[in-house]
Amino acid sequence: MLDLLSQVLDKLTLNAKDFVDIRYAYSMGETITVRNGRFDSVSNQTTGGIAVRALINNAWGFTSIIQTDKESITKAVEKAIQIAKVGSKYTDEKRIISDDWVYEGKGETVIEIDPRDIDKEIKFKKLIETEKAARKYSDRVVEASTTYQESHSREFIVNNKGTKVENEVHVIRLMKNVIGREGTKMQNVFDSIGGAGGWELVEKWDPEEEGIKAASQVEKLLHAQTPPSGKMNVIMDPSLTGVFIHEAFGHACEADAIIAKRSILEGKIGEQVGVEQINVFDDPTIPGLRGSFKYDSEGTRTSKRTLVNKGVLTEYFHTLETATALGMKPNGSGRASSFNVTPLARMANTYVDSGDMKLEEIAEIAKEGVYLKNSYGGYVVPAKGQFYFTCQMGYTIEKGEIANLMGNVGMSGMTLEVLKNTFAVGDKWEPAFLGTCGKGGQWVPVTGGGPNMGVSDVVVGGQK
Amino acid sequence: MSLSEELENLSKHVIKYGLSLGADQVEVYIVTGVTKAIQIELGSIHKFTETSDSGIGVRVIKNKAIGMSSTTIFTIESIEQTVKNAYSLAKVSTPDSNFNSLPEDTTPTPTIADTFDKNIIELPVEDFTQIMLESINEAKVEENAIISGNFSAGSGERYIVNSQGIERHSVRTSINGYLSVKIQKGDDIGNSYYFDSSPLLRNFEHIKIGKEAGKRAKRMLGSQKIETKDLPILMDPETTYFTVSNILSRGINAFNVINKTAFFIDKIGDKIASELLSIKDNPFYPGGTGSAAFDDEGVVPREVSLVKDGILQTYITDSYTAPLVGLKNTAHASRDSFSSRPRPSLYSLEIKAGDTPKDSIQEDMKEGILLIGSPIPSMGNNPQISAQINQGFYIKDGEIKHPVKNTVIGCTVFELYEKIAVLSKETENRKGHISPWILLEALRISGGK
């Protein structure tokens, strides 16, 4: 495929400042969901096609097609160039891609056990027995569902600067969602395992244990107290720290938002944005995590990014375009979820590095507040620097001790305040938030994580 | 042979091929389309795109077990492989005793006015660009306004054929625009957006997109944190529509009812909201963005009353859930994509107006919060609400004092529906989404002050 794409590219007559890349993306996936003892969905999906980008005279043209023959690809390239030329008439900004970054190579997720070789009955058994154990545990469990997902994607990328890359990523995930109801009160517990790899990442899942664990948490949450409301001290567990750093900070570090002047962190490289104990990284090179890959969708080799070093902002997430525009080095953050969309600057595995405090010590400093656990997700408006995230459960902190169980709640904070309001960083980081990040209509697998972390003045949106 | 004829033949081939493999029932769902889009960055064109939005989803039933498979690769080999995959998955899957049958429906396909416009298909790129530039021009409310967004235009066809005799085809066009505007004065940031979508070029309000996005961004300057307290909330029609429909679509969805997670389970004929609330769902609104002549299983819907004077009238169902909840199929089947299994979802709501002028509702507020384009969603299928206010204003003695930031509303969906206190006589109609202003009695507001 690389040769075919190169042949099309070689026939083009381009100016020195022009940029054209062609990407073939193919993906196969399998999804199985069991809900309340029934197969809700047993499906597989195949997508494949060609994506062409052309940057001509400061404007981009993009086309995608489902045909993969030479003639169709050639026409798609011509079309991308043609529409870029139209766009260039209405563009005031200077946009180029540097000639400095050329990549060649092949990346492939290491798989120990290929999930495609695992019998469906074995996959079914994990799902059925998990949700069955949850429902058996309590009559108050009204819905128990389990989902298995595997995806196998390949990208072939060539560009006129000389990049020729093939990348293969395999992602696997096993999820459970248990909902309990008592009258009008409902609580749910969600959890998952998996990452970039094979069956070995989910093999250890013990269905009965996982089902009972979720159901017993739901039982307790149905009788938990209502979360408080107002501004208070918050301790986040590693999963919450993960979604917090992803939403509150990670999105604001995406360089396309920086260039578009839509991030609160624009122009803040080298500035103190948090307390000295804070170090934030994003590392797609860690094997086995959901956001792990060797080359991005522009063919750039990925590397570990240091976003914050001792409280100082040091790096953004870059595509080739943003790195050129800001005079920085690309770091392989250009991710596209399919052939039908263009790569955007995205996170991969984002985490706060560990500090040195035990949970009990952090609670003692907090004195009063809440200890929040298990993320549900969140969102941010990077232009305003206002973010929101939610947890599944938590505990009140009273007189410096972790006290009473409480139900789910959402929180709001300001990006430029929270890292400065951090008063304690726990002693062990975990990649505990397994997420799927949405941006511009594209969804990509990510991980977030960190240690327990104490932050003051977070707004908690409870009902009392 | 035209593309339509090719796809029609292809659909029939899928059904025939699936049955020949041994399937009891087969359904094929095909979407095809091309979308042109312009991405705007810093007030000028960043990217032109032209993308294909096509795919085939196949659902196969064997001994009441269901297998699904999908592909975007339109070769006969790939499509036959997709049918084989669905069939093999159905064979290894466990029978679902709740499954009755794929739907049958001999109702003629109705025609909905104003859902197709060849002017959108033939729109020259220069004219499309001009529309976008006029919108951007309106959004430049300040010299330093940062404008970004996306405009798109295209057409899409939908084919649904099943082995029970359903054969449906529809084509519609759409033009969409979204602008986001940011204005910065020192550390003070005003940021907002506006959007519009229409099946017809002539009804597309591109000037309003720019005007509203700019006006809203300017209004968001000077935001302040507020204290935590209980305050009444006035929702504009956009906030009202998305808040009310979000709760309703989860709360009366028959799929959630059979799983006992619907907010309003066993409540048909009971009061679920303030008696001021009445809601109809109209799938046939002419020129409506949510209108459809048939649902995503090919069944023809009808206008239905969902809530009348606060009393729940029905659940929304599809072919799978209707028999399980003892109701007729209301034809609300909807798919997220060609690869998804259908689930019930709403079309286009009309929330009945009240009789109080909007201005007098605000004037009578001693203290409260005004929400503009800032919906209050539930936390997924949980009835708890803990929602950040993205565009809200603090009101004192009937006057807007300042925008709020870092503020969260905490309540439950039941409280929110019960606390509907006043509805305005004015409504906003956004291509069939019809909604008044609504005043909610005091709810818990958590502030950062």
State the Cα–Cα distance between residues B178 and B260, nearest whole angstrom.
Answer: 37
- Structure confidence by residue, pLDDT tens digits, B130-163: 999 999 999 999 999 999 999 999 999 999 999 9
First CA to last CA distance, chain B:
68
Instruction: Report in angstroms the alpha-carbon separations of B149 from A388, B146, B152, B192.
Output: 22, 10, 10, 11
DSSP readout, A163-177? -EEEEEEEEEEEEEE
Chain A residues with beta carbon closer than 8 angstroms to that of B405: 384, 386, 414
The proportion of chain A whose per-residue pLDDT surpasses 90, expressed as a percent, equals 87
Predicted local distance difference test score (pLDDT) of residue B3: 64
Six token digits for residue B276: 């001021």
DSSP B291: -
Q: Which of B177, B241, B165 is nearest to B205 (CA)?
A: B177
Which residues from chain B sit within 8 angstroms of residue A124, using beta carbons?
92, 94
Contacts with B, A 192-251, CB within 8 Å: 227, 229-231
Residues A56/A18, Cβ–Cβ less than 8 Å: yes
Under 8 Å between Cβ of A277 and A425: yes
CB A184 within 8 A of CB B383: yes
Please write the tens of the pLDDT for every residue from A380-392.
888 888 888 899 9
Alpha-carbon distance A80 to nearest alpha carbon in chain B (angstroms):
8
Nearest Cα of chain B lies from the Cα of A384 at a distance, in angstroms, of 6
What pLDDT, on the 0 to 100 scale, is given for residue A211?
A: 97
B296: pLDDT strictly greater than 80: yes
**Structure tokens given for B345:** 């979802």
Has residue B1 got a pLDDT over 80? no
Q: Does B90 touch chain A (CB under 8 A)?
A: yes
Cα separation of B210 and B138, whole Å? 5
Nearest chain A residue to B383 by CA distance is A186
SS3 per-residue string spanning B89-118? HHHHCCCCCCCCCCCCCCCCCCCCCCCCCH
pLDDT at residue B41 tops 80: yes
Residues 6+ apart with CB under 8 A from A25: A47, A48, A49, A51, A153, A154, A155, A297, A336, A338, A339
Task: Determine the residue of chain A that is closest to B58 in CA distance.
Answer: A43
Asked if residues B283 and B348 have their Cβ atoms less than 8 Å apart, the reply is yes
Decide if B47 touches A, using CB distance below 8 A.
yes
Model pLDDT for residues A128-158, shown as the tens digit of each residue:
999 999 999 999 999 999 999 999 999 999 9
pLDDT higher than threshold 90 for residue B437: yes
DSSP secondary structure string for all residues of B1-19: --HHHHHHHHHHHHHHHHH
Give the chain B residue whose CA is nearest to the CA of A186. Answer: B382
| Token pair belonging to A231 | 């501004």
Give every CB contact of residue B124 below 8 A, 6+ residues apart in sequence. Answer: none
- pLDDT over threshold 90, residue A464: no
Residues 210-249 of chain B whose Cβ lies under 8 A from any Cβ of chain A: 228
pLDDT at B2: 65
Work out whether the CA dihedral A414, A417, A423, A426 comes out positive or negative: positive
Q: Tell me which residue in B133, B405, B448 faces A90 most closely, judged by beta carbons.
A: B133
Report the residue count for chain A: 464
Mean pLDDT for A79-94 is: 90
User: What is the predicted pLDDT for the residue at A91?
Assistant: 84
Weakest mean pLDDT among A121-130, A379-388, A398-407: A379-388
- Percentage of residues in chain A having pLDDT higher than 70: 100
Contact of A449 with chain B, judged by CB distance below 8 Å, is answered with no
CB contact under 8 A, B446 and A230: yes
Chain A's closest residue to B146, CA to CA, is A261
d(CA B449, CA B446): 9
